[in-house]
Structure 1
Amino acid sequence: MSPSSAMLDRPLTGGRALAPDLARGVMLLLIALAHAHMYLSGHPTGYRAYALDGGALDRVVTGIQVALVDGRAMPMFAALFGYGFVQLAGKRAGDWADTRRLLRRRSRWLLVFGFGHALLLFFGDILAAYGLAGLLMVGVLRWRDRTLVVFAGAWLLVHAAAALVNGLRIAEFGGPSGMAAATDPVAAVGERLALWGVLTPFLVVELVIPVLLGVWAARRRLLDEPGRHVTALRVTAVVGIGSAVLGGLPLALVDAQVWTLGALAVPAYVLHGVTGLAGGLGYAALIGLVAARVTRPGWALTALAACGRRSMTCYLSQSVVFVAVFVPYAGGLGAELGTAAASGIAVVTWLATVAFADALRRADRGGPAEWLLRRLTYGRKGFENVR
């Protein structure tokens, strides 16, 4: 029996581990920060879609976020997605064919959720990318560990090539415009879907490596039992986050308009994207180290974990708030505010979703989006047996 088959046949131990939910809860703050500035309109932008016409505070926030947030949050979530894929498979008592059908059904519904998200709210949706990745990569759960690692290493070349193509496009045609400035809600739908259709395949390319490594980590229960893997988590956190900061700094200085690299800006963009993979893994490992030191989580960690357990609901709620505040046909502040103000709104929005998730926890209720996804995935009969 292969290691992957053994993992699928071994049920997970009882209880819900703190680290994966805590990591998702923290990750949603990074997602909010990475997305809020995309709702601004009417500004020339740099390589990561940050406005170039802001004040000193806006440029400081831009530099910090490009170095620490952009291209680091999504790899973290992707690794957790791969980790959760193994957890879902481990809960199935049936054979592999049954497990594969279930995971593919869930991935197809994620695609539907993502389409709805893009249709109604945000072109930068990531749910569809995870759904498409799940459909294409469900078979990796049967791969041996060596195959996972070797393929991830080989895919790094594809990842870098995609970043190079995008960087060259930005250098020639200018920075991405972010959220379209359409004042007509109907016209905005077409613009969002057009951007979403182009962006989603690129996102899938970026997801491959962290998903594979998330599967590898789940087989070792690195986040389920972080106390047993402190050394590995510490090394991953230090190397991963350190690499992301150093690798992201050149582009951060470029987008913050501190440093003009000229033709070297494109290699800086590629370096930013590649080291972001390490940063996402490093952040997840750092949360695992925090969880390893917690014997009884206090109210703050409990609320964050509640947010992570309801991550889809909280993620979609962020988009609802951002549309209400920023887009021209709603709050209309996207044309008036700068990067720093948008990031401030992102933090407040994230805090509100944490409070909302904790209120649901206190009421012993799950997130509505999670409830619907489980109901659609498992059906009425199967849903009754799903926790």
Structure 2
Amino acid sequence: MARTGGRLTEFVTTFREGPTEVRERALGPDLARGFMLLFIALANSHYFVRGTSYFGGFPQDGGVVDRAISWTIATFVDGRAFPMFGLLFGYGVAQIVRRQSGRPRDTRRLLWRRSLVLIVLGLLHGTLLYVGDILGAYGVLLLLGAWTVRWKDRWLWIIAVLVFVLTALPSDGSLAITTDGPDVSMVPPDLATQFVERIKVTPLIAALGPIGFAGPFLIGLWAGRRRILEFPDRHRTLLRGTAIVGITAAVLGAQPVALMIARVIDRQDHLDYFGPLHDATGVLGGFGYAALIALWSIRLADAPGPITRAIAATGQRSLTCYLAQSVVWTIVFTPYLLDLSDDLGITGTAVLATATWAATVLAADRMNRAGYRGPFELLIRRFTYRSKQRVPSR
């Protein structure tokens, strides 16, 4: 027996390959994925809003409420949620590797199958629904990252720190300081234009995306080897320090860009420094959020309430819920459908994003009560573990 999150949980004494069953899953990682999907929705939806001028993906002609919400999203959400998902992605890969009893070559092949299905799903998702897809980038990252799962810890840290330093160097390519609004690939006027434009952009995002996710992915592998998020009560000091330092750095590092986005201060020179500062501290913030939620899960693990269980169920079905968000963006913002990019504004899209996330939480909870794993979770597991006889739905 071992104490986990304040409760006694019996270890499974027989080794089993294949995906982790729901009853064996730790609360912390699922809760983190479920909650951060709200941040993903808030981070993605504001890029659809039309205006006369833009900064950091936000129209610059909104009122006081829009400006306040823009500051909040730029401070706590943008560039902070995606690094956390990169960390959790690496953590999940470490869990997969730990459950394999075969040769390293067999494990790599399993991970490559998983990467292939992510790449295909990402290309379809980016072309049909949301051009800012991250699934393809995760697939490419895993395709290459399958070679890193046997690296020694120090090499995971060395490469992660190197990537962090390189991405923190001055650059004018950060989304945090972009002055572009939604282009034709994001809000295409017709279906033909959508396919033509997005087929150019989606593979490029898939190819370049791993650069930003590589550092969090490698740290996630390291954390997954130690099961830090699964047994947070054993790592309280590390998690507390990470939460305090990471979130503080993220909030402070965001302020130059966030205050400019909210038009509290005039747009400054040297944006090529402020953009990378916003992004680099966002990586630390992603780590901080993961640590904070893991600490929170210690208190909730003994008697999780209905809201906690519902958010965890959302995290268990994060792929399905992420794709469901894109269905909403497509219907609401596409010009040949509802075309509400001119009507909602920053406040409207924030409300829409929150409502969309809440709807996916309710749907995930219903699926959990019905014992249904989620359509895209089943798809990716069946493709990944095609040689296994047992692919449990619960």
**What corresponds to 2:7 in structure 1?**
none
**CA–CA distance in 2 between the matches of 1:181 and 1:315?**
19
Cα offset, 1:40, TM superposition: 2.3
**What corresponds to 1:3 in structure 2?**
none
**What corresponds to 1:125 in structure 2?**
133
**CA–CA distance in 1 between the matches of 2:359 and 2:391?**
31
**What corresponds to 2:342 in structure 1?**
335
**What corresponds to 1:5 in structure 2?**
none
Change in 2 beyond 3 A, CA 1:355/1:365: same
2:147 paired with 1:139: yes
2:202 paired with 1:196: yes
2:171 is paired with a residue of what secondary structure? helix
Cα offset, 1:44, TM superposition: 2.4
Of the three residues 3, 17, 20, the one matched with 2:26 is 17
Query: What RMSD, in angstroms, separates the aligned Cα atoms of the two structures?
Result: 2.0
Change in 2 beyond 3 A, CA 1:51/1:86: same
**What corresponds to 1:159 in structure 2?**
167
Of the structure 1 ranges 370-379 and 245-254, higher mean CA displacement relative to structure 2 is found in: 370-379
2:279 paired with 1:273: yes
Where do 5+ consecutive residues of structure 2 fail to align?
1-14
Cα offset, 1:59, TM superposition: 1.1
| Paired amino acid for 1:344 | V
**CA–CA distance in 2 between the matches of 1:238 and 1:23?**
17
**What corresponds to 1:60 in structure 2?**
68
2:299 paired with 1:293: yes
Change in 2 beyond 3 A, CA 1:224/1:168: closer
2:239 paired with 1:230: no
Cα offset, 1:24, TM superposition: 0.3
Q: Deviations over 1:319-341 (max 9, x none)?
A: 00111112211111112221111
Change in 2 beyond 3 A, CA 1:157/1:78: same
Cα offset, 1:43, TM superposition: 4.4
Q: Deviations over 1:239-292 (max 9, x none)?
A: 000000000111001111211243222211110011010000000001100111
**CA–CA distance in 2 between the matches of 1:325 and 1:168?**
23
Asked if the contact 2:126–2:133 (Cα under 8 Å) also holds between the matched residues in 1, the reply is: yes
Number of residue pairs aligned between Structure 1 and Structure 2: 373
Asked if the contact 1:110–1:127 (Cα under 8 Å) also holds between the matched residues in 2, the reply is: yes
Cα offset, 1:42, TM superposition: 5.0
Q: Taking every aligned residue pair, what percent have the same amino acid on both sides?
A: 43
**What corresponds to 1:31 in structure 2?**
40
**What corresponds to 1:86 in structure 2?**
94
Change in 2 beyond 3 A, CA 1:43/1:318: farther
Of the structure 1 ranges 345-354 and 201-210, higher mean CA displacement relative to structure 2 is found in: 201-210
2:358 paired with 1:351: yes
**CA–CA distance in 2 between the matches of 1:169 and 1:85?**
29
**CA–CA distance in 2 between the matches of 1:186 and 1:198?**
19
Change in 2 beyond 3 A, CA 1:77/1:383: farther
2:332 paired with 1:325: yes
**What corresponds to 1:370 in structure 2?**
377
1:259 is paired with a residue of what secondary structure? coil
**CA–CA distance in 2 between the matches of 1:190 and 1:304?**
37
1:317 is paired with a residue of what secondary structure? helix
**CA–CA distance in 1 between the matches of 2:181 and 2:202?**
13
Cα offset, 1:165, TM superposition: 4.2
**What corresponds to 1:312 in structure 2?**
319
Q: Deviations over 1:81-127 (max 9, x none)?
A: 00000001111121111111000110111000000101100110010
Of the structure 1 ranges 347-356 and 252-261, higher mean CA displacement relative to structure 2 is found in: 252-261
**What corresponds to 1:7 in structure 2?**
none
**CA–CA distance in 2 between the matches of 1:193 and 1:134?**
22
**CA–CA distance in 2 between the matches of 1:134 and 1:280?**
20
Change in 2 beyond 3 A, CA 1:122/1:43: farther
Q: Return the TM-score normalized by structure 1.
A: 0.91
| Paired amino acid for 1:244 | A
| Paired amino acid for 1:117 | H
**CA–CA distance in 2 between the matches of 1:117 and 1:299?**
31
2:324 is paired with a residue of what secondary structure? helix
| Paired amino acid for 1:341 | G
Where do 5+ consecutive residues of structure 1 fail to align?
1-9
Change in 2 beyond 3 A, CA 1:232/1:302: same
**What corresponds to 1:251 in structure 2?**
257
**CA–CA distance in 1 between the matches of 2:297 and 2:90?**
19
**CA–CA distance in 2 between the matches of 1:169 and 1:364?**
41
Asked if the contact 2:47–2:181 (Cα under 8 Å) also holds between the matched residues in 1, the reply is: no
**What corresponds to 2:8 in structure 1?**
none
Asked if the contact 1:107–1:134 (Cα under 8 Å) also holds between the matched residues in 2, the reply is: yes
**What corresponds to 2:182 in structure 1?**
177
Cα offset, 1:385, TM superposition: 4.3
| Paired amino acid for 2:287 | L
Of the structure 1 ranges 246-255 and 147-156, higher mean CA displacement relative to structure 2 is found in: 147-156
Of the structure 1 ranges 310-319 and 49-58, higher mean CA displacement relative to structure 2 is found in: 49-58
Q: Deviations over 1:349-371 (max 9, x none)?
A: 00000000000000000110111
Change in 2 beyond 3 A, CA 1:169/1:297: closer
| Paired amino acid for 1:118 | G
| Paired amino acid for 2:288 | G
Q: Deviations over 1:284-334 (max 9, x none)?
A: 001100111121211010000000000000000000011111221111111
**What corresponds to 2:104 in structure 1?**
96
